[in-house]
Amino acid sequence: MVNKVKTFFAEVKDIFKLLVSSSKINTLLLILANILSGLMLPLEMMVWKYFIDSVVGAIATKDILSPVYLLCLHYVVGGINNYIIHIEEYFEQMEVDYVNKYVTARTISKTAKLELKYFDQKENYDMIQKVNMESTQRLINILSMTMLFVRNCVTLAGIISVLFILNGWIILFCIIVSVPSAIVSFKMSRKQYEIFNSRLEDMRKIAEIKNILVNYENIKELKIYRLGKFLKEHADKLYEKFICQNKEVRRKYAVNISLSETLQVAILYLIKLYVVMQVIYKSMSIGDLTLFISAIDNFQSCISSIFRSIIKLYENGLYIKDLNYFLNLPIQDVNTGLAFNKEFERIEFKHVYFRYGDSEDYVLEDICFCIENRKSYAFVGINGAGKTTLLKLLLRLYQPTKGSITIDGIDICNYSIIDYWKNVGAVFQEFIQYPFDVKHNIGFGCVESISRIDIIKEAAKKSGAIEFILKLKQGFDTNLKKGWVNSTQLSLGQWQKIAISRAFMKDFPILILDEPTASVDAKTEYELYNRLKTLISDSTCILISHRFSTVKLVDTIFVIENHHLIEEGSHQELLEQNGVYATLYNMQAEAYGDDI
């Protein structure tokens, strides 16, 4: 129990750190406005009591002056309260903007820094999605609930002082009668969080289905396969499942909360009867009657509201717990380590084994090979053999499970990752189509040079992309997403050239190409690699391709089969060996003739 309380307070502290970090001054002013706003209700109640008493007195004395003064005072207090409410609203809305900005920045930055291995584990992946989907809204809910809590606590303190004059026990009664409905609501929140967690995968599926439907590139396939109806029905089924679960939980909640609230109201009316008796038998004034009755009503609504805000805080806090966990996930130290030596002699894979996450099966087993500076290499093998995984290890996106990768005898782990990445150009088959214009899509290859149009143009020249870019109406300023101002839709082959230009934004001693030209025709790919060969004669080039016309251009070919390296040599040597490479080559030669 003590530990639970400790953890709760530690979590509350973390949440407030997040809120305050969004904007210190605004948060402070917001809290202040809420404290003032909380004071106004008891003040108004007191003025109203004196007003009623003065009216009762004036019936005998016929002196209207004091009721008029008190009415004016009530008007002034009400007016000030109004101002405070608007000021408080202003700070709260501003705080929402600051929180949005701050949390979005932190989650983007953290997601970008997380190691790839975190995305491979389902629980982590779910959590990353959950945090990105929910955190900002939840934090904003926490903010408004906290402010409601502060306001109500101040009001409650005022009302308690009033009720204390009447009878201290009444305060205790009022608190106790609110407990059952608080428990019911608390259980409901817990249940809702559990349901939310169990639905994450389905919710992600619905979001992805919607994304597929609104993506321009997908429309042709969806229409031809007439998938709209199927996808709609699939989403319908998922929603029906959600509705069924919700119905049951909400029905139960509605019954329980109605019962507990009926009991609560009945007890409150007994307390009000006690006040009426005090007026009749103990000569309390009519002003006292209005004061105590409204104190009891307001006390009750304050207490309910405080309980509600605690429950909502708890409910939203459950999601923020995930955000805090996510923000505290360890990130790689990418800066410290040796500087990369561009003049390295060889990179060596020494008995490298690798498996993903918790999987028991190795994707790579006992891999040994050597890459020499300024030479070109290709990995060949059927899909799923492990070629991309090898490149991921070389790119240091993962670490070998066993064995080591060394550069001139020094383990690759000893080099600063940032420095290493700065020296590697990489183009992947699943490259990103950024929702920016041409110059950004190329410039992202080296963010430090993002405003250097001369470097961007040179990169586009090297990949051959310049030819179609110059034909675009807005040239390098053309937006590359359908439906944007000054936008166009590129073909996949053109997109691939843009992705290759990105790699040319910097001078790299190592260039890694993972089937980035799978969508261009064999002739264009061949021409591109021929051009690349002269352009990067000073670099080490490592590629994966299924096209033997390209593969045969490299110095050394590695053949991967069933997670092992089974053949190694030049095109000619491997043909002479008449092994797996020769079989694959001859199969393609038969199918495409001289075209390969």
The alpha carbon of residue 413 and the mean position of all alpha carbons in its chain are separated, in whole angstroms, by 29
Minimal distance, residue 148 CB to ligand ADP, in Å:
44
Phi (first) and psi of residue 521, to 5 degrees? -70, 160
Scanning residues 349 to 368, which ones bind ligand ADP (CB under 6 A)? 356, 363
Measured from the CB atom, is 494 or 556 closer to ligand ADP?
556
Q: Closer CB to ligand ADP, residue 356 or residue 436?
A: 356
Name which of 582, 468, 462 is nearest 529 in CA terms.
462
Among 66-74, 247-255, 386-394, 585-593, the segment contacting ligand ADP (CB under 6 A): 386-394
131 contact partners, CB below 8 Å, separation of at least 6:
107, 322, 323, 326
Stretch that binds ligand ADP, among 135-143, 293-301, 383-391, 528-536 (CB under 6 A): 383-391
Tell me if 384 contacts ligand ADP by CB under 6 A.
Answer: yes
What 3-state class would DSSP assign to 285? coil
Ranges within 151-180 binding ligand ADP (CB under 6 A): none
CB nearer ligand ADP, residue 387 or residue 571: 387
CB of 569 to ligand ADP, least distance (A): 19
Alpha-carbon distances of 330 from 33, 94, 104, 574, rounded to whole Å: 38, 32, 19, 45
CA–CA separation, 470 vs 473, rounded Å?
A: 8
323, amino acid identity = L
Nearer to ligand ADP, 64 or 382 (CB): 382
| Residue of 198, 151, 132 lying closest to 41 (CA atoms) | 151
Q: Is 371 in the site for ligand ADP (CB under 6 A)?
A: no
| CB 486, CB 478: distance < 8 Å | yes
Residue 182 to residue 160: CA distance in whole angstroms: 20
List 38, 287, 317, 381, residue binding ligand ADP (CB under 6 A): 381
Residue 385 C-beta: closest distance to ligand ADP, Å: 4
62, HSE (Cβ side, Cα atoms, 13 Å): 0
Footprint of ligand ADP on residues 30-69 (CB under 6 A)?
none
Sheet of 564-569: strands edge to edge?
424-427, 510-514, 540-544, 376-380, 556-561, 564-569
Q: Is 120 in the site for ligand ADP (CB under 6 A)?
A: yes
500 binds ligand ADP (CB under 6 A): no
Q: Which of 46, 188, 385, 551 binds ligand ADP (CB under 6 A)?
A: 385
- Least separation in angstroms between residue 381's CB and ligand ADP is 6
Give the nearest distance from C-beta 380 to ligand ADP in angstroms.
9
Interface stretch with ligand ADP, choices 67-75, 132-140, 205-213, 378-386 (CB under 6 A):
378-386
- Residue 380 near ligand ADP by CB under 6 A: no
Give me the least distance between CB of 461 and ligand ADP, in Å please: 30
- Exposure b/e, 55-75, CB count within 10 A at least 16 = b: beeeeeeeeeebbeebbebbe
Interacting residue with ligand ADP among 38, 317, 386, 516 (CB under 6 A)? 386
Task: Give the interface segment with ligand ADP, choosing from 201-209, 377-385, 432-440, 551-559 (CB under 6 A).
Answer: 377-385
Least distance (Å) from ligand ADP to the CB of residue 546?
A: 10
Please identify, using beta-carbon distances, which residue of 357 and 435 lies nearer to ligand ADP: 357
Nearer to ligand ADP, 114 or 153 (CB): 114
| Tokens standing for residue 581 | 């490479």
Give CA–CA dist 373/69, Å, rounded.
93
- Other C-beta atoms closer than 10 Å to the C-beta of 579 total 15
Start-to-end CA span in the chain (Å):
71
**Least distance in angstroms from the C-beta of 437 to ligand ADP:** 32
Closest contact distance (angstroms) between CB of 384 and ligand ADP is 4
**383 part of the interface to ligand ADP, by CB under 6 A:** yes
Alpha-carbon Rg for the chain, nearest whole angstrom, is 35
Q: Does 316 bind ligand ADP (CB under 6 A)?
A: no
Shortest Å, Cβ 371 to ligand ADP: 17
Which one of the spans 52-60, 78-86, 195-203, 376-384 is the region binding ligand ADP (CB under 6 A)? Answer: 376-384
Q: How far is the CB of 205 from ligand ADP (least distance, A)?
A: 19
31 vs 570: CA distance, rounded Å: 72
Asked if 388 interacts with ligand ADP (CB under 6 A), we say yes
- The total number of residues shown for the chain amounts to 596
CB of 107 or CB of 388, closer to ligand ADP: 388
Residue 481 gets which letter from DSSP? S
Return the range that interacts with ligand ADP (CB under 6 A); candidates 33-41, 52-60, 125-133, 382-390: 382-390
Nearer to ligand ADP, 118 or 415 (CB): 118
* # binding residues, ligand ADP (CB under 6 A): 11
Stretch that binds ligand ADP, among 169-177, 195-203, 344-352, 387-395 (CB under 6 A): 387-395
Shortest distance, position 566 Cβ to ligand ADP, whole Å: 13
- What one-character DSSP code corresponds to residue 339? P
Sign, Cα dihedral of 490, 492, 497, 503? positive
- Looking at the DSSP bridge assignments, the partners of residue 544 are 379, 514
Taking the C-alpha atoms of residue 478 and residue 499, their distance in angstroms, rounded to an integer, is 16
Of 47 and 405, the one with the shorter C-beta distance to ligand ADP is 405
Cβ atoms within 10 Å, residue 393? 23
CB atoms within 10 A of CB 5: 9
Dist CA 88 CA 91 (whole Å): 5
Stretch that binds ligand ADP, among 123-131, 385-393, 431-439, 491-499 (CB under 6 A): 385-393
Which stretches does DSSP call E strand in 238-277?
Answer: none
Contact residues for ligand ADP, defined by CB under 6 A: 120, 356, 363, 381, 383-389
